[in-house]
Amino acid sequence: MEVTLLKSTEDPEEAICTAARNDYMSDWVGEKGFEEIMETVEGDTIEEKQYTLISHLLKHGHFGPFEHPKAVFAVKGISRSCMAQITRHRHVSFDVQSMRYVSFDDVDPDDVGDGEMVVIPHSVNDPDWIGRNQKGGAVDEETVEKRRRVFEASVTESVDAYQQLLDLGVPPEDARFVLPIGTKVNMVMSMNLRMLMHVADMRAAADAQWEIRELTETVLDFAEEWCPLTFKYYNENMKNRKNRLAP
């Protein structure tokens, strides 16, 4: 999988603080400079004042101001299974590559089961990999080799059937029914910072499924650079909360 940040709100933490100060000031923030808006907030520097205010908002569950900054990500090569999970989040906006316009013609038939067009789960190749609810330990190399063969054979057969159906005149939107759920897809997704923290709460948790966790961890890496003060507080005080409904 690859993830890149396409666009994001400039000065996101200035936007958060301005919105929050609007709630508590008699003057209108629209005609004040940022330093003036932050004048009464505790702290020696503007960064300290921002951190004071952002921590206060997060600590007290005043999450509205975090809905103003927004980020747009391009995601490459996640499985349709992972896509089904992330698209359950109703306040994230998505554009998902349509399979009707995807051709597998340029994929070498020998590479079909090789991660070229289908995501290969770690457990297929890694003898030490243990699933979320699995008991027991590592398996031997022979078992891994068998897993790999079964996986590759199944994927190759599905893709072969897909191509044959296309050749027999079945439209792509119908032929795709035989493709595996691990088939790769690209998408663009955007979300506000409140939603990003909510997705992180649910999907970066240790018990989340590994692929969506990898996706979320990468999004979080970008987010930590984009909103450093917010994630300083989040990482120190909020990360790995269990079963939070909001933000």
Identity (one letter) of the amino acid at 42? E
Q: What is the DSSP letter of 136?
A: S
Output the smallest distance, CB 18 to ligand FAD, in A: 24
Options 21, 80, 194, 203, the catalytic residue? 203
203 is catalytic: yes
Is residue 60 at the binding interface for ligand FAD, with CB under 6 A as the rule? no
Dist CA 240 CA 224 (whole Å): 15
Helix (H, G, I), strand (E, B) or coil at 40: coil
Closest CA to 76 of 109, 102, 108: 102
242 binds ligand FAD (CB under 6 A): no
Residues 6+ apart with CB under 8 A from 39: none
Is 208 a residue that touches ligand FAD (CB under 6 A)? Answer: yes
- Cβ nearer to ligand FAD, comparing 161 with 205: 205
| Residue 153 in the binding site for ligand FAD (CB under 6 A) | no
Amino acid identity at 100: R
Closest by Cα among 196, 188, 190 to 16: 196
- Which position among 10, 44, 108, 245 is part of the footprint of ligand FAD (CB under 6 A)? 245
Nearer to ligand FAD, 148 or 213 (CB): 213
**H/E run at residue 210:** helix 210-226
Please report how many Cα atoms fall inside a 13 Å half-sphere around the Cα of residue 122, on the Cβ side: 11
DSSP one-letter string for 11-65: SHHHHHHHHHHHHH-SS-GGGS-HHHHTTTSS-SSHHHHHHHHHHHHHHTT--GG
Chain residues 61-90 in contact with ligand FAD, contact rule CB under 6 A: 88-90
Nearer to ligand FAD, 138 or 246 (CB): 246
Binding mask 90-119 for ligand FAD (x = CB under 6 A): xx----------------------------
Is there binding between residue 206 and ligand FAD (CB under 6 A)? no
Would you count residue 181 as binding ligand FAD (CB under 6 A)? no
135 binds ligand FAD (CB under 6 A): no
Q: How far is CA 106 from CA 102, 110, 116, 209, in A?
A: 11, 12, 11, 31
- What are the φ/ψ torsions at residue 60 (nearest 5 degrees)? -100, 5
Closer residue to ligand FAD (CB): 168 or 245: 245
Residue 90 or 135: the one with the smaller Cβ distance to ligand FAD is 90
Three-class SS state of 171:
coil
Among 53, 202, 215, 229, binds ligand FAD (CB under 6 A): 202
Could you say whether residue 246 binds ligand FAD (CB under 6 A)?
A: yes
Catalytic annotation, residues: 203
Contacts to ligand FAD by CB under 6 A = 88-91, 198, 202, 208, 245-246
